[in-house]
Amino acid sequence: MCGIVGYLGKANAASVLISGLKRLEYRGYDSAGLALIDNEQILVSKAAGKVANLNERAHTNWDPELFERAATGIAHTRWATHGPPTEVNAHPHLDQTGDIALVHNGIIENYRALRARLEGKGHHFASETDTEVLAHLIGDCDNGDLFQAVCDALSQVEGTFGVAVISSREPDKIITARRGSPIVIGIGDGEAIIASDASAIVAHTQRVIYLDDNDIAIVTADSVDVRDLNNIPVTREIAELGLDAGATEKGGFEHFMLKEIHEQPEALSNAIRGRLDLHLGSSVLAGMGTSQRELAELGRVVMVACGTSLHASMVGEYAFEDLADIHAEVQQAAEFRYRNPILGNRDFVIAISQSGETADTLAAVKEAQQKGAFVMSLVNVVGSTIARETGRGVYLHAGPEISVASTKAFTCQVSVLLMMALKLGRGRRFSREEGLKIAREIEIIPELVAQVIRKNDLIAEIAEGYVKDEHAFFIGRGPMYPVALEGALKLKEISYIHAEGYHAAELKHGPIALLQPGTPVIAVACEGPAKDKTLGNVEECRARGAKILGIVTEGDTEAEEVMDDFISVPRAHPLVATIPAVVALQLFSYHVARLRGCEIDQPRNLAKSVTVE
Ligand code: F6R
């Protein structure tokens, strides 16, 4: 949510910043801006809309020599929180002298009080943003030492921030700090690049420092000095990114979403590799940090997550109950911390998040830790806040997910949850032989997914029949219920078709009133204990003239016959089958959105990585 880039080198700051913003654009894309230091002056260019608009604006307004000459700058791509996405509200914001520029992710909660106080001292504000207040506050605190001014200002701030600040009076440094909003510092050869995530850094260097909450760093082209907000030096190790620059590019696909759907067989292989024990019929997930004895004593599994990760957790809930005989529940992270979750030291809380930065999930982690539960994470982004906060957990190894609509994270999350349930199940419930059966089913998930992806053209053809619809229902039962929810989420977020995910049995408790002849109902009816009941619900929809698209098991002619259209997915254990089934729905949503001409990778109003509550 919002992207920050800062650069210090010998030249070409503007070009580096703009290409960094393009790589971060998936984090927010309603407006963008950049500030450069040139001849002891701050120069700012901003534009509403995409980074492409900013690029055009900067090239029109600025001398080409400035592009080559300026060596220090900061830039930002925004997802609006305070004030609409206009040019004036875009970052960077300046202090009252125009000598200091700031980019900011997060929310300054006490900005109204700070603004009133500064207005009382004669400050005038041009924008409606909380960020401009922070820029003025830094200016107000500045007595000739930018680092100290940023420390003093941030100590007055309530809320969250990831910031990068420059001053024309100290042109060779960027001050950067974080609380609740990530900052990574890339250390190059005679250059440094600061960003809110590694995708803007990877083209420059693999060597990075991750700031922790309440860290503040003085960055020059050749040095990084990290302190806390009380000016006490702290040691932060240099880490290797281990990311390939190509992984954040489209690689010949029309959209990141399509690329990431196609990457799933490989991503799943990476998530599963080395983690199945095909001798003992169990799994090896060292990051869980629990002994087999501790696992046997666990009372309950509680998963906390948002959005797509929440739906993956719901599949996990079935897996823990079915495979491990353990009470499992899923809680929306945003609700969890504001109710009174009853937790104890036999409760196993798993925070599930692709980005590892989602504010509500992070808050839920802190709440669970405070209540003494055993907390771990299931995260994709290495070094992310939730991964570090929990200290123990399992990485997905799915590779960077750039498309705002999550795809490969979901399938990898479900696969790892199945492996966790298998591990718990072996300690509590089933024999080696039974464990082996499940392990072998998990082992072939990448191949099952590859088989669905090979149906891409067929799915694109089927999608043509749903392009003109404005409403759709997705239904399922058992573990296919969360698959239906995820299918509806995918369709609505990228195609803007109003899609509702419902438990198939719930439809007749109200929503069936909305069915009219031709209303699409997408029924996830793969083989499993709930299939016959789902087919019964499909008949109820057919009787009201609905147009049915079925996700069915290959060779299940009984299911095929009740559908107007169907996509068949390979036969598998009902929990495992959730994965190929969801891939069919990802492709279906993708093609509907493509045929409707939507901006698939950057849907309106959305942003990747939701770092505000
Ligand atoms: C939907 C989507 C979101 C995220 C949600 C949680 O396609 O991507 O619903 O799943 O914002 O994000 P993470 O998993 O990063 O915590």
Q: What is the pLDDT of residues 134-174, one digit of tens each?
A: 999 999 999 999 999 999 999 999 999 999 999 999 999 99
Task: Please list the residue range(s) of the chain that carry CATH number 3.40.50.10490.
Answer: 251-443, 454-613
Q: What would the mean pLDDT of 357-374 be, rounded to a whole number?
A: 94
Give the residue ranges of DSSP H helices in 183-336: 256-262, 264-272, 292-297, 307-324, 333-336
Per residue in 38-95, pLDDT (tens digit) is 999 999 999 999 999 999 999 999 999 999 999 999 999 988 888 888 999 999 999 9
pLDDT at residue 13 greater than cutoff 90: yes
Question: CB–CB of 456/302 below 8 Å?
Answer: no
Atom of ligand 1 nearest to the CA of 310: 10
Tokens describing residue 140? 């107000």
**Length of the chain measured in residues:** 613
Question: CB–CB of 303/335 below 8 Å?
Answer: no
For ligand 1, whether the C-beta of 364 sits within 6 Å is no
pLDDT at residue 438 greater than cutoff 80: yes
Q: Is 409 helix (H, G, I), strand (E, B) or coil?
A: helix
For ligand 1, whether the C-beta of 306 sits within 6 Å is yes
Q: What would the mean pLDDT of 450-468 be, rounded to a whole number?
A: 98
- For residue 565, report the distance from its CA to the centre of ligand 1, in Å: 29
Atom of ligand 1 nearest to the CA of 386: 16
Q: Which of 26, 79, 20, 3 lies closest to 608 in space, CA to CA?
A: 26
Beta bridge partners of 104: 163
Q: Is the pTM of this model over 0.85?
A: yes
pLDDT at residue 288 greater than cutoff 90: no
Q: Give me the active site residues, please.
A: 2, 608
- For residue 113, report the distance from its CA to the centre of ligand 1, in Å: 33
- Rounded distance, CA 613 to CA 609, Å? 11
For ligand 1, whether the C-beta of 361 sits within 6 Å is yes
Report in angstroms the alpha-carbon separations of 287 from 134, 395, 453, 608: 39, 8, 31, 26
Atom of ligand 1 nearest to the CA of 306: 6
pLDDT score, position 81? 80
- Rounded distance, CA 231 to CA 216, Å? 8
- Rounded distance, CA 221 to CA 204, Å? 13
What does the radius of gyration of the chain's CA atoms come to, in whole angstroms?
25
Q: Which CATH class is domain 3-247?
A: alpha beta
For ligand 1, whether the C-beta of 385 sits within 6 Å is no
Atom of ligand 1 nearest to the CA of 405: 7
Which residues lie below 8 Å from residue 224, measured CB to CB, with a gap of 6+?
Answer: 185, 187, 192, 209, 217, 218
Is the CA virtual torsion 436, 442, 444, 448 positive or negative? Answer: positive
pLDDT score, position 223? 97
Question: CB–CB of 263/251 below 8 Å?
Answer: no
Asked if the bond preceding 92 is cis, omega within 30° of 0, the reply is yes
Question: CB–CB of 490/586 below 8 Å?
Answer: yes
Tokens describing residue 602? 């950057």
Q: What would the mean pLDDT of 518-523 be, rounded to a whole number?
A: 98
Q: Which CATH class is domain 251-443?
A: alpha beta
For ligand 1, whether the C-beta of 575 sits within 6 Å is no
- Rounded distance, CA 219 to CA 187, Å? 9
Q: Which CATH class is domain 454-613?
A: alpha beta
Q: In 111-183, where do the E strands start and end?
A: 161-167, 170-179
- For residue 136, report the distance from its CA to the centre of ligand 1, in Å: 34
Cα–Cα–Cα angle for 4, 365, 153, nearest 5°? 40
Q: Which of 430, 417, 272 lies closest to 348 in space, CA to CA?
A: 417
- For residue 612, report the distance from its CA to the centre of ligand 1, in Å: 13
For ligand 1, whether the C-beta of 307 sits within 6 Å is yes
Tokens 């057919």 belong to: 542
Pocket test for ligand 1, best of 181, 257, 306, 396 (most atoms within 8 A of CB): 306
Task: Please list the residue range(s) of the chain that carry CATH number 3.60.20.10.
Answer: 3-247
pLDDT bin (cut points 50, 70, 90) of residue 383 is: confident
Is the CA virtual torsion 184, 195, 216, 161 positive or negative? Answer: negative
- Rounded distance, CA 168 to CA 185, Å? 21
- Rounded distance, CA 352 to CA 304, Å? 6
pLDDT at residue 11 greater than cutoff 80: yes
Say how many C-beta atoms besides its own lie within 10 A of residue 536's C-beta: 12
Q: Which of 310, 311, 279, 282 lies closest to 295 in space, CA to CA?
A: 282
- Rounded distance, CA 447 to CA 570, Å? 10
Distance of CA 193 to the CA centre of its chain: 22
Q: How many helices (H) and strands (E) does the chain have?
A: 21, 26
For ligand 1, whether the C-beta of 377 sits within 6 Å is no
pLDDT bin (cut points 50, 70, 90) of residue 491 is: very high
